[in-house]
Amino acid sequence: MIIYRGTKMSFSTAVEDQGIADILNQAVYEKMHRRTGQSELDSWKNSMNYMYMVLNDNAIPDDTGIAVEYNIPQTSKRVDFIISGLDENRKESVVIVELKQWESLKAVEGRDALVETYTGHGIRQVVHPSYQAWSYAALIKDYSDIVQDDDIELSPCAYLHNYEPKEDDPLYAEQYQTYLDDAPAFTKKDLKKLREFIKKSVVWGDNGDTIYRIDNGRIRPSRSLQDAIAGMVRGNDEFIMIDDQKVVYERILEVSAQCRKDHKKRTVIVKGGPGTGKTVVAVNLLARLTNEGQFVQYTSKNSAPRNVYLRKLKGVLKKSSIDNMFKGSGSYVDAPKNAVDTILVDEAHRLNEKSGMFHNLGENQIKEIIRAAACSVFFIDEEQRVTLQDIGTVTEIRKWAFDQKSEVIEEELVSQFRCNGSDGYLAWLDNALEIRETANFDMEGIDYDIRILDTPEQVRDLIYEKNRGRNKSRLLAGYCWNWISEGKNRSDVYDIQIGDFKMSWNLGNTTTWAIDEESVSEIGCIHTAQGLEFDYAGVIIGDDMIYRDGHIVTDYTKRAKTDQSVKGIKKMAKEDPAKAAETADMIIKNTYRTLMTRGMKGCYVYCTDRQLSDHLKELLKQETVMVQ
């Protein structure tokens, strides 16, 4: 869908007549049924005036194609400005321009392609504009049959028309060079440079025919994309399927193929506890279905597993168009019906009702995903809901599938390969945390290294020892210590202090903490560990879970003020105290259950509450040692 399509001549006339913003506003209302805010109108006026000046050159033909706000077919991604024509060899060519109102930015060290700037009424971390332009071009190239079959040249760039760079400006920092090489960034003083960039691609006009054909073409993954994702999975030990993982995988392939054949909606719910291989199945499906020509996306609410598994697939590659296959769960607010052949939803228990930065967009993420996909697959473990906003349940998915007239198929993964293949430890843990009663009162005969230790130093030292050589052991903690914002990127700022023990939360300058070499010297929280697995996990249980009068007791008031997991619980407590207590208890216990099942081979635990420590030792028949 295109909000505005015309030629250089018609676009220039609209700008000169001061009517371009009104034309865009009316088009948005007619095509998207929404009103445009004043800030967006002002942004259009400013940006369109600058593009008018850029195009004001007789060497750029009057019949050059122009498109504004081009919605990439069957996605929610919109390209700000497109220019189309023929190059010097009479070959179809398209220039993609990402427009920015920014006046300054800061480089974000250690986080690929991210910058910090003022946008959305605040200072936020967002992608570098060159990365954004490149990724949109890659998305069109990878999925447009017209671009693939006719070998249309795509030339992306970014235009920051309010930006006046200073010496050694972070916009051009070395860490962004990979993206700047493919999508140069032009600033306020670069109008002529941008004009020359366009003139290299557009020598003759095409009356917008190229843009029209791309917009109305079919969506299919390119052969190069199919080969890339298949090659990344093939031979990668991380993604080998075993037992019922293979059975569920084959069943979903069958269901997805049937959706394409009879054009009926289907929703698959795959239930599975910790370590059952939900992500392994999802990634294999992503590769296989893409290889079969489907438009497939992997989505999750939590970015940590998404970023880690993407890195595991890419390896040392900094830039790959498979990036576009991995999406946040809020990506489908405006997606058209059946826009994607198959959406694979990992960690479906973490889905939220609303989307967006302020949780004010859309109606319900589950509904939007089912609506956007011909075949939607939800991988879920209800006992891993760990925030007040988590709405992912089997019942909720069934409800919205019925609403969207989607047939429901349910599967289950049961083979545990985490925790040394043992269901016994998980059953013991559920019983110990009083989540559910089981027959596993102790760990006798269960091959899993679970130890309750007397100091956090002991936990730390054991994890350091286990991490040597494999980089697969991590320290984790309940969110009972504030994340000091001034030191979020400094390892010498200690967020967590227990007596003489001092360590930092995982630093804010990486998106792949779980696999970074230096991460063993930091402590991860539920948000950076959930959905991931290690050989050994060291877990610090804070004051939000204690043992009193023969029972596990939770207290949400002991959570850190910087934790958003129980945001809104105080309001709930005023309206319905019993429900608030039950909900908070579930969140806190699920949090520690999740943290204590991250280690495949073992888990070492320190409790700030001595009574809880003694209780867990008693259950494990471990000796209690008095610590002075």
Give the pLDDT band (50/70/90) at residue 420.
Answer: low
Helices (H), ranges, 111-208: 129-143, 145-150, 177-182, 191-201
Residue 534's φ and ψ, nearest 5 degrees, are -135, 170
Distance CA 334, CA 361 (A): 9
Looking at residue 120, its pLDDT comes to 78
Lowest-pLDDT range of 60-74, 246-260, 585-599: 60-74
What token pair was written down for 29?
């209302």
Contact 547, 482 (CB under 8 A): no
Note the pLDDT of residue 57.
96
DSSP 235-300: T-GGG---THHHHHHHHHHHHHHHHHHH---EEEEEEE-TTS-HHHHHHHHHHHHHHTT--EEEEE
Strand 340-345 relative to strand 296-300, pairing? parallel
Q: Which tokens hold the place of 409? A: 């198929």
pLDDT digits (tens, 9 = 90+) for 496-548: 999 999 999 998 878 899 999 999 999 999 999 999 999 999 999 999 999 99
**pLDDT exceeds cutoff 80 at 596:** yes
pLDDT of residue 415: 65
Terminal CA-CA length for the chain: 70
Q: Has residue 423 got a pLDDT over 90?
A: no
Average the pLDDT over 59-73 and give the result: 92
pLDDT at 592 over 90: yes
Whether residue 624 is predicted with pLDDT greater than 60 in this model: the reply is no
pLDDT band at residue 623, thresholds of 50, 70 and 90? low
Higher pLDDT, 418 or 282: 282
Within 346-384, strands assigned E span 373-380
Dist. CA 533–CA 536, nearest whole Å:
9
Other CB atoms within 10 Å distance of the CB of residue 200? 12
Q: How confident is the model at residue 421 (pLDDT cuts 50, 70, 90)?
A: low
State residue 71's pLDDT score. Answer: 86
Q: What is the pLDDT of residue 131?
A: 95
Structure-token pair, residue 422: 């043992």
Q: By percentage, how much of the chain surpasses pLDDT 70? A: 97
Half-sphere exposure for 174 (CA within 13 Å, toward CB): 1
In this predicted structure, what is the pLDDT of residue 3?
86
pLDDT of residue 507: 85
Distance between CA atoms of residues 544 and 480, nearest Å: 7
Q: Is 626's pLDDT higher than 50?
A: no
Does position 410 have pLDDT exceeding 80, yes or no?
A: yes
Lowest average pLDDT, out of 40-49, 130-139, 159-168, 180-189, goes to: 40-49
Whole-number pLDDT of residue 554: 97
Q: Identify residue 404 by its one-letter amino acid code.
A: Q
More confident residue, 13 or 420: 13
Return d(Cα 531, Cα 315) in angstroms, integer.
19
Closest by Cα among 231, 240, 241, 221 to 342: 221
In this predicted structure, the answer to whether residue 226 has a pLDDT above a threshold of 70 is yes
Taking residues 33-57, report their average pLDDT. Answer: 85
Cα 451 to Cα 429: distance, rounded to the nearest angstrom: 12
Q: Residue 431 pLDDT > 80, yes or no? A: yes
How far lies 229's CA from each of 65, 145, 235, 389, in Å? 34, 18, 12, 33
Going from the C-alpha of 389 to that of each of 392, 531, 587, the distances in angstroms are 9, 17, 10
Does residue 627 surpass a pLDDT of 60?
no
Name residue 593's amino acid. Answer: R
Query: What distance in Å separates the CA atoms of residue 442 and residue 168, rounded to the nearest whole number?
Result: 62
Round to whole Å and give the CA distance between 51 and 28.
Answer: 20
What does the block give as tokens for 291? 């290889």
- pLDDT band for position 628 (cuts 50, 70, 90): very low
625 pLDDT more than 60 = no
Confidence of residue 43 (pLDDT cuts 50, 70, 90): confident
| The token pair that represents 597 in the structure block | 């099942």
For residues 180 and 203, give the distance between their C-alpha atoms in angstroms, rounded to a whole number: 24
Show contacts of 357-360: CB within 8 Å, 24+ apart: 357/120, 357/124, 359/389
For residue 144 the two structure tokens come to: 């447009």
* pLDDT grade for 619, boundaries at 50, 70 and 90: very high
Please state the rounded mean pLDDT for residues 569-575.
93
Token pair in block for residue 204: 């003759």
Confidence at residue 59, expressed as pLDDT on a 0 to 100 scale: 96
Query: pLDDT tens, 434-492?
Result: 999 877 777 777 889 999 999 999 999 999 999 999 999 999 999 999 999 888 888 88
Contact between 156 and 98 under an 8 Å Cβ cutoff? The reply is yes
Please report, rounded to a whole number, the percentage of residues in the chain having pLDDT higher than 90: 73
Is 315 exposed, middle or buried, given 0-12, 13-18 or 19+ CB atoms closer than 10 A? exposed
Q: Is the per-residue pLDDT at 417 higher than 60? A: no
For the residues 572-592, what does the mean pLDDT come to?
95
pLDDT exceeds cutoff 70 at 72: yes
Pair of tokens at residue 188: 């306020």
